[in-house]
Amino acid sequence: MSLSIRVGIGYDSHRFAEGHGVILGGVLIPAPVRCTGHSDADAVCHALTDAILGGAGVGDIGEMFPDTSAENAGRDSIEMLKLAVGRVRAAGWRPAQADITVIAETPKVGPHRPAIRERLAAALGVGPDDVMIKGKTNEGMGWIGRGEGVACIAVATLTRVDQG
């Protein structure tokens, strides 16, 4: 049976280094750290990109944007997310809704929720109300608890392009 709704999940993590802010969901959040990575290290965009690609069954972020490619060095992850939406749509699917959890001791994402929702919604082609982002600490446990980095889990729902 061919489903008319698909669900995808994505996960990402990035290590902190000394810096002046963390980019999450396309928004620069002031912090005494930054995220290290090949692109702009936006764990929210990366997890969400994997969620939509996974839901549509059209690959993953590592295959689409290899970290061995100079083209992807320092790359804007919102732009990568938009390209992934294009691949998803070409396969007959479109994002309908996403729910995202950021896990880090700091910084807090709550105060930046409206801005992040706006940026991700614009990239996905949905309304801000169709994107939710929540922050959680790891209760001081493990590498996240020690403030070594940030993790993110994203779930996305896709519907068929030819359905209203």
State the residues that interact with Mg ion by CB under 5 A. Answer: 12, 46
| Other beta carbons less than 10 A from residue 110's beta carbon | 10
CB-nearer residue toward Mg ion: 131 or 151: 151
Q: From the CB of 162, what's the least distance to Mg ion, in Å? A: 32
Q: Closest CB to Mg ion among 79 and 160?
A: 79
Angle (nearest 5°) at CA 92 between 78 and 40 = 15
Query: In the complex, what is the shortest distance from the CB of residue 37 to Mg ion, in angstroms, rounded to a whole number?
Result: 5
Q: Which residue's CB atom is positioned nearest to Mg ion?
A: 46
| 116 and 86 Cβ atoms separated by less than 8 Å | no
Nearer to Mg ion, 43 or 58 (CB): 43
Quote the least distance from Cβ 46 to Mg ion, whole Å: 4
Q: Which two tokens stand for residue 59?
A: 């690959």
Between 40 and 105, CB nearer to Mg ion: 40
Q: For the CB of residue 161, give the shortest distance to Mg ion in the complex, in Å.
A: 27
Please answer whether residues 47 and 25 qualify as being in contact, where contact means their C-beta atoms are separated by less than 8 angstroms. Answer: no
For the purposes of burial, counting CB atoms within 10 Å of the CB of 141, is it exposed (0-12), middle (13-18) or buried (19 or more)? exposed
